Every structure is written in C-alpha cells, then in structure tokens.
Chain A
Amino acid sequence: MRRALLLAAMLVLGSCKVQLTPEGLAKTWDAITDAQKDLTPENEYWTGRSVATNLLARHEYRYHDADALQDGRLEGATAYVSAVGGVLAASAMETTRKGDRPAPIAGWHFTIIESDTINAFAAPGGWVFVTTAAIEAAQSEDELAAVLAHEIAHVVRGHALGSIKKGRWANVAKTALDTSVQLDEQSLGELTQVFEGAMDDMIDGILVKGYSKDTEYEADRVGLEIMAHAGYDPQALVRYLKTLDAEQGGGGGGFQATHPKASDRISKIQGKAQELGKVEIPQVRFARFKAAVEEL
C-alpha cells in the first residue's frame, strides 16, 4: 500500500526533487502545502477584498467619485486614472514573467483616496489605490503612470501575498487544505485564523512597515517595463522620484515611511530607465492630465 502511495506521489510530483522515503513523503507534504500557500487566483480574489476593505477603512472610506462608484460608474478623475491604469494593466498582461499574477479574477480597480499624504498602495487581486496628494505631486500623465505601474508591479509579482509569514500555517491541519474532504468547522476556524494573521502581515507590508528594499526595487524595475511597453516615458519615474526627494527630504509619512529613500531608488533605476529609451510625450497627455487634476 505504502509502495503504491509512493509511486502515486512520484507521478503527481513529476520532476520535483524530493526523496520519497517516509521522511521524504513528509517533505512531499511540505512541497504540496508550500504550493498551496502560494494561493490560487481565487484565493487571491477573496484575500484582496478584505485587504482592500482594511486599507479603505484606515482612510475612513474617503475616496474620490464615491457616489458614482456606488452607482456602478467610473467618472471624473477616477475614470481618467482608471484609463491610465487600464492601459498599464493591459501592458502588464502582455509582459508577464514566470510566477506573475497579471489577470485578477475580477479585473483591475483604481481608486483615488482623498488624502494630503503622498502615497499609493495595492492589494492582491488588482486593487490599486492612489492618494489625491500623490496625483497632485505628478507633473504629467506619464508620472502618474509611473506611480500606478509600480503598484501594478506589486500585484503582478505577488508581493503582498509573499509577505504572509509562513509560520501562520503551522497550526492548520493538513485536512483543512485537502480539497477532497468536506471543510468542517474546526478547519474553517483554523483557516480563518491564518486569514486574520495574513491580513496583519499584508497591511504591515503595504501601509505600515513597507516591503523590503529589494521588493521595492523589483516593483520599480517591473513598473518601468510595464510603462515602456505601454508607450509611457520610463524617465517619468525618475522625474517623479526627484519631486518626492525634493518635497519630502528625509521625513514624512506615506511613500517615505514605506519605501526606500527616493534618491536610492533613482540610483537603482536610472540605468534601466535610460536603457528602455526616452519617449517624447505628446501635448495631449499633459492637457488631459491637467484636466483630470482640476477635477480632484
């Protein structure tokens, strides 16, 4: 029986490099649960809704064009930011890397938070938030695109999901993750406990402590590629970071609290931005950006 199970495990795991001794089977289980912890797009969808709700709650649910959104319409500056974000999302879907999550189950959503703090953040499942102050700090559509592309990159690369501490899963029984058995009350309780902890981990990463510097630099690099493929000027990210550097200096909340120093980010991405080329920005992009800012 055990032999048959070992063979079955070998067939299932294909080229996975695990030792299929009884000890190895324990590792096999770990491999399975590790993959499970990577979470499917459906898991990401249900996670993202709660993360987004928590992020909105921390801003007292003050978001722009709220009445229109409640009626199911994209209007004003929100419609404009969503159009810029939509072009970038399409670009992200066309420039995927291994392990990317470019196509959220319920699509992408771009919401403007009413706040005087320059910030932008994203939740799993395609939720991107940008503050009114962050939009006003931009000088052009391309600079706004740089902010949004950075956030899209966080989602596509699964950075928030990756910030969930692995230890959260330690007390979950194997059967709770087994789709072949009915989910019982105890398993549901264990999974909900992990979910609670995961919310804390992700909100810490997104809004409180920030991600690691390397994670932020990766979001900058990937964001640049998304921008360039969409036809936006990659140099716009450098220009926006220079504005942040000049305006915020060494202090302040928002971006400053959760991101590496703007000057460090500039030095990390300047070469790549140049390599991707400079784009002559048509006047119409400046004009429609200005019109959208006036609607804020």
Chain B
Amino acid sequence: MQRVRTSKQWFAVIAAGLALAGAVAVAAPKTGSTVTVRVMSAKVMKSPKFIGPAAGSVSRGDQLTIAEIKGDWYRVTGAKTGWINRTSVVEGKVALSSSPGGGGAASRDEVELAGRGFTPDVEEEYRGKHPDLDFSHVEAIEKTGIDLSELGAFVDEGGLGGDQ
C-alpha cells in the first residue's frame, strides 16, 4: 500500500536532504576560511606531505584557518601552524566531539555531519545483543595509532617515498 506523507513528513524529507547536502557539500576552500578537524587526531606537517617532520598534533573538533592552498594540502594557522591534508578536515566551523557521531548529548553539527545509519547508539544496542563479542581488543588496538610523520627514517632507509 502506498503510504501518503503529511506535509510534516515531507518537511522531514527536505530537512534530511538539507542535512545531507550540508554534510557532503564540498565548497571550494578559500584562504581565510575555517576548516574543522574530522579525524580523531592528525599531524600538522612542516611541509605538505604525510611523512616527515610534524609541527604538532590536532584533534577532532579543532578549528584551523586556511592561510594557503597547495593541491590537497592546506597551510593552516590556529591551534597549530603548518600543513594539513584535506582528507583530515571538513569545511567550516563544526562543533565536533571526540566520539564521532556523538551519542546522546551530541551537538546538532555532530549529528548532521555523521548522519544517522550506524552510530554509537547502534553499536551499543548491537553489543547488548552480543555479549559474547569482546570489543576490548579493537579498543586497545585503536589506541595504537601509526604516526605517519615518524616513518621518515623507515622510508629513507628502505629507499621508499617516491613522491611522498
């Protein structure tokens, strides 16, 4: 049976579309504009490449100002000054927490950027239904991030790098 949507439901449809459009919009970045760190942590590099000396670390939710653009790299100022790759950030000022997608007390920004689908709430429900699954392993491994900026010696010693 075809479900008839009320105007309120249609509004929800459009609102979802707007939220989605906001989440996926890729505005051309400009110098002077703000970007927000989307990944849990990222290195701000002294030059525009992943492997090499870092100027410092930034965390999800940190906001930086673009001072220069070189390909996929932004030279930023703010919490740290240096180069950050576009894949680590989202355009604009976005209020983000260290728990991607939020959970109960998530900001509107957080919820809209993350979208619905699979969220911390869903994981919690899933875990409740599968007490046999031991998440402590992935939680421990997750804390051992690879510091790409520190791979310089490994790359040099092995004659790797290419364009990196």
* Chain A residues within CB distance 8 Å of chain B: 1-2, 5, 8-9, 12-14, 25, 28-29, 32, 35-37, 39-43, 45-47, 49-50, 52-54, 56-57, 61, 63, 69-70, 72-74, 82-83, 85-87, 89-91, 93-94, 96, 102-111, 127, 141, 174-181, 183, 188-189, 191-192, 194-196, 198-199, 228-232, 282, 284-285, 288
Contact = CB atoms under 8 A, between A and B. Distances in A.
A57 B157 CA distance: 37
A212 B17 CA distance: 32
A39 B115 contact: yes
Q: Taking each of A40, A52, A72, A107, which has the highest tally of chain B beta carbons within 10 Å of its own beta carbon?
A: A40
Contacts of B24: 35
B100 A42 contact: yes
A189 B125 CA distance: 8
Given A36-B117, A106-B40, A231-B159, A93 B16 contact: no
B119 interface: yes
A50 B72 CA distance: 31
Interface residues of B, number: 70
B104 to A, nearest CB: 9
Q: Taking each of B7, B9, B11, B14, which has the highest tally of chain A beta carbons within 10 Å of its own beta carbon?
A: B14
Interface string B150-164: 010011011111111
Contacts of A284: 157-159
Nearest to A49: B138
Given A9-B14, A9-B17, A25-B10, A82 B146 contact: yes
B79 interface: no
A84 to B, nearest CB: 8
Nearest to A47: B118
B19 A180 contact: yes
A42 B116 contact: no
B85 interface: yes
A103 B15 contact: no
Given A45-B100, A174-B16, A94 B114 contact: no
A100 B143 CA distance: 24
A122 to B, nearest CB: 13
A141 B159 CA distance: 12
B151 A87 contact: yes
B9 A188 contact: no
A188 B146 contact: no
Interface in B87-112: 87-88, 100-101, 111-112
Given A32-B20, A36-B20, A285-B158, A46 B122 contact: yes
Nearest to B154: A83
Contact of A85 (B11, B23, B101, B146): B146
Contact of A74 (B12, B16, B146): B146
Given A89-B148, A107-B40, A178-B12, A40 B122 contact: no
